[in-house]
Chains A and B, each alone.
Chain A
Amino acid sequence: MQPDTVMTTTIEKRSMKYTFSTVCRGLLALMLFAAPLAHAQLVVEITRGQANAIPIAVVPFGWDGAGTAPFDVAQIVAADLARSGRFAPLERRDMIDRPTAGSQIKFQDWRYLKSDYIAVGKLVSTGGDQHAVEYELFNVLNGQRLAGQRIPSTTAGLRATAHRVADQIFEQLTGIPGAFSTRIAFVSMDGTPPQQRYKLIVADADGENQQIIADSAEPLMSPIWSPDGQSLAYVSFESRNAAIYVQALRTGERTRVSARAGINGAPAWSPDGSTLALTLSRKDGDLDVYTLSLATQVLTRMTFDAGIDTEPVWSLDGKKLYFTSDRSGNPQIYEVEVDNSSKLRRITFEGSYNARPRLSPDGKQLALVHLDSGNYRIAIVDLGSRAVRVLSQGKQDESPSFAPNGATLIYATQDRGRGVLATVSIDGRVTQRLAARSGDVREPVWSPFPARQ
């Protein structure tokens, strides 16, 4: 009885803070509340950067408006670039000048400070809640102007706009689209067995702006983003059996899409968003991969082996599924054609344990969990050459997920017995750790790129 009481109190407390709309939808009677966390729970720490990180000066932006500037755009831009590990932003205290437009830059000074690039700009009030963020990017060595933009933004949108500026600078200088405007979803777990609390959380890629999506005394697992980034599918044991739910992030509207007898697990969205691949065990306990059309509810069986077949992921064209199967005696990755499930091919042969594949954004590689001399580590398998490259160095690394620009992987690992998240650049040179202040965090999934208006 105790947990129910505690939960009710929490809801009452939280609901006082918010005004609610009057329309309630969804298949279940849900207890829902907007729940931004009071403080950032994830602490991001760069554990290994690139030795030859590019020196750049991101000068504090000017403010063209009344009073003081509502937001420090340059600070977010510099922090994003620093976290990528590819850039070494100049400390503000070392800046001898604060230009806010290209015409004010004395390039000689910045060459003396050994900055290769400089970004300057200002925040302009355009009336009421409206602003414009203006920035310019220059090559310090030759004074060439590389980029310049004016981006309109509301006050509340300034953080997102700053991430967008960082995305553009990153792409201009590396050739890779920045992924600073993206988000991550993950599962947190607090408490000790058997009294545990599970939360599904969404945060900005820098760990800020966290929102609780679902909160339960029963396990939550296997979150995955819809291709449009508007919804999450996940597994919840709230009914004391596994069921798959789809929840829209903006409205909280939630649909139970599969609660069949036995296991309902490992949801994976098709690239066009119309279909979920999932794992069902039905009554006999034989785990197989199926596809489920979200519009028609038509269920199609994809695998027929008596072993464990699970963890499906779609190919980019939606014509194939990669999945884990232990039909050979230990878990390995296979692919099957969606339109012809008799066309099956084994993908991995190296090592005795390869599981939970995730496809790279270019469709050419799989990230997976690979048993590497007694340690479960994140590895990349090239689908062309079949070469296996181990990227992580932990003992129990799992749940790899690619950033949508393909440059970084996020995964779950352990630090002194606690579950934490880590990122590694695809070349293995830059690593980062994201730890919660308390409890375990795991099953990180990187969102797609946000839609641009």
Chain B
Amino acid sequence: MADVVSLTIDDVPVSVPKGTLLIEAAKQAGVLVPHYCYHPGLPVAGVCRMCLVEVEKAPKLQIACATQVADGMVVRTRSGQAKSGRTGVLELLLINHPLDCPICDQAGECELQDFTFQEGRPASRYSPTYPKRFNPVEDFGPDVLYVPNRCILCTRCVRFMEDVAREPVLNVSERGDRAFIGVHPDAQLDHPWSGNVVDLCPVGSLLSKDFLHKARAWELDKTASVCTGCSQGCNVTLDLRDETVVRIRPRPNLEVNRYFICDHGRANYRWMNRGDRVEAPLVRAGGELKAVDWDEALDRARTILAGAGGSAVALVSPAASTEALYLARKLLGRFAWTGAFEVVMGEEAPLAGVPNLALRAERAPNARGAELLGYGRDYAAALKAAERAAVVLVIDDPDAQFTTSGEVICLGTEVPTGAPLHRSSVVLPVANVAEEDGTFVNRDGRVQRYFQARSAPAMARPAWWVLGQLTDTPPDSAAAAFDALAADVDAFRGLSYAALGLTGLRAAAGAGVPA
């Protein structure tokens, strides 16, 4: 046990590994030491001087972000001295900081507001006759605006670009109270991961143009989810205002994306709000698709399936949930079935400073999950097989181009076009990633949960529910659907929603897939 250090923080005994920083050890004691420049995903800077704490026997206040724990250390984060040190920092930060709260995007999720409210002075002592420092707003790049007046020079953004993105395009320019964050005219902030500086900025100095003035932080409902942009499976938070997704932010997961998401994923939310959805179950009658209720549509689908024999083809989206894909496979179990998906490919863009983190070439969240469940990538072969299939089941593949002599059952979020539109006997509306609970399996075989952020539009239901209804033993919840999957498929054995939690678990490696 030589590598464990015991100390006391605010009278709470704490034991942590040797080398732990005080600011992290304090979290174990339930204490959040106020800070700005420190971030667990960035190298320590120690410049904001906000995290001042009192350490017994030390002559001066110490900054918790740069002090390592020592055996027997006694730390007081809320002593009079420590508090007055932090109050001093807050006062000094506010003397040039403009009173922009009413027009600043950060209001409501601003660490300067939070700590000032907690420990700041009630009134300013800065003479009203002094003008505040003024610099005009700057356009740093495709999505980032910089408001120098609000900047507290914590240098998180500079350190992110230098050490994590490994593309040092941001600097600190000038000196003293004239300092600001600068760029060189030759280089914009267009690194594929540069949007993270907006999240990292503790105040409203670095802003996303995409989110500018769209919503107030307190109006947002926040839900944990998983990015659907590629197969990396970065954990995200969906921010919704009035049931509309307005922003995606990274959610920490030390095994996958640490604290970051790429710009592609960040921008990838507008499709979630599309209005051109299938709104009601549709059944073909008299050559035309007519809206009916669920009972009738499901009955029709059951009839089709019961009456068909031979081969079946499932054309699925690599963004369909693992539960839905499992139930579809179960449904087609008695046919000779082929399942396939098509993945859009793009250029990979790694985040150099984090191992195994990149915007992946495969632009879909659940290709691996589909593979583990027996779906293949040979989409062309599946299209060929569809020609003679008795049943073609299309899951959220609205533009699939195929011809078939059999029946077509289509589950769709968007209104389908092409073959799914003209050949479907039944079109069933399903929820998208923001509207249901489910799981994706990322490229490393990590099974991660995403949570429902809002209700599905009109009569749409989760795909797992729809497919479950068509089987003999419909699961009554997404969790139950996953449990059935885990019991049945080797790769997922031992997993459950409870075990997956908020950060997921690796599926069994090298597990075989039953035929």
Say whether A and B bind each other: no
A interface list, Cβ under 8 A from B: none
